[in-house]
Amino acid sequence: MINSLLNVSLGTVTASQRISDTQSGFRAYSTAAVDSLAADESIGTGMDASTDILYHAFDRDYEIREVGTTVYHDVEDSNSYHPVRHGLSLVHSILTTVERRHPILALGVPGAASILAGVGVAFWALERYLAWGTLPVGLSLLSVLLFLVGTFSCFTAIVLHALQNQKST
């Protein structure tokens, strides 16, 4: 799941571009890549560093080649992190990076969908009011909540997108 999520976030759409093991700690780097990685302050120091390094490599068009190796997972004390906690940490890191790199896609599109859902629920509440003569409070509150969350999400996406464009110029 982590491999698929990271590949999608990197935009690797063809099988030849995909990275089959995004969490491998066994990597080799050129001197230029090491210098570039050392200077990048956005690379984490925890278990999410492996994904940060791949984003760094893709951003700079570094060649990524995978070579098969054998890994033994049945050794004592091979990992100090609980697998679920480790997985959730990586998913959080990937989603945060996607939000930072593609704010319109990560926040704007779901925000627009939330606004549309809020308007739809508002029309449904209005229909119920006209049919029954009483305002369905639950539907009304849900429509307002969806509309406000969507508006906030869209506004945040626009601001982050503007900051991202300002930073790159």
Per-residue model confidence (pLDDT) at position 91: 79
Per-residue model confidence (pLDDT) at position 126: 94
The span from the CA of 138 to the CA of 80, in Å, is 46
The span from the CA of 28 to the CA of 25, in Å, is 10
**CA quadruple 98, 99, 102, 107: dihedral, nearest 10:** 130
The Cα-based distances of 67 to 24, 64, 146 in angstroms read: 11, 10, 48
Per-residue model confidence (pLDDT) at position 77: 64
Q: How confident is the model at residue 166 (pLDDT cuts 50, 70, 90)?
A: confident
Per-residue model confidence (pLDDT) at position 80: 64
The span from the CA of 128 to the CA of 149, in Å, is 23
Asked whether 140 and 118 are in contact (CB, 8 A), the reply is no
- 12-23 residue pLDDT tens: 767 777 888 877
Q: Choose between 34 and 87: higher pLDDT.
A: 34
Per-residue model confidence (pLDDT) at position 78: 60
Asked whether 84 and 133 are in contact (CB, 8 A), the reply is no
Per-residue model confidence (pLDDT) at position 96: 77
The Cα-based distances of 117 to 54, 90, 94, 114 in angstroms read: 36, 30, 27, 5
Q: Is pTM beyond 0.85 here?
A: no
- 95-154 residue pLDDT tens: 777 777 788 888 899 999 999 999 999 999 999 999 999 989 999 999 999 999 999 999
- 38-76 residue pLDDT tens: 898 878 777 677 888 888 888 888 888 888 777 776 777
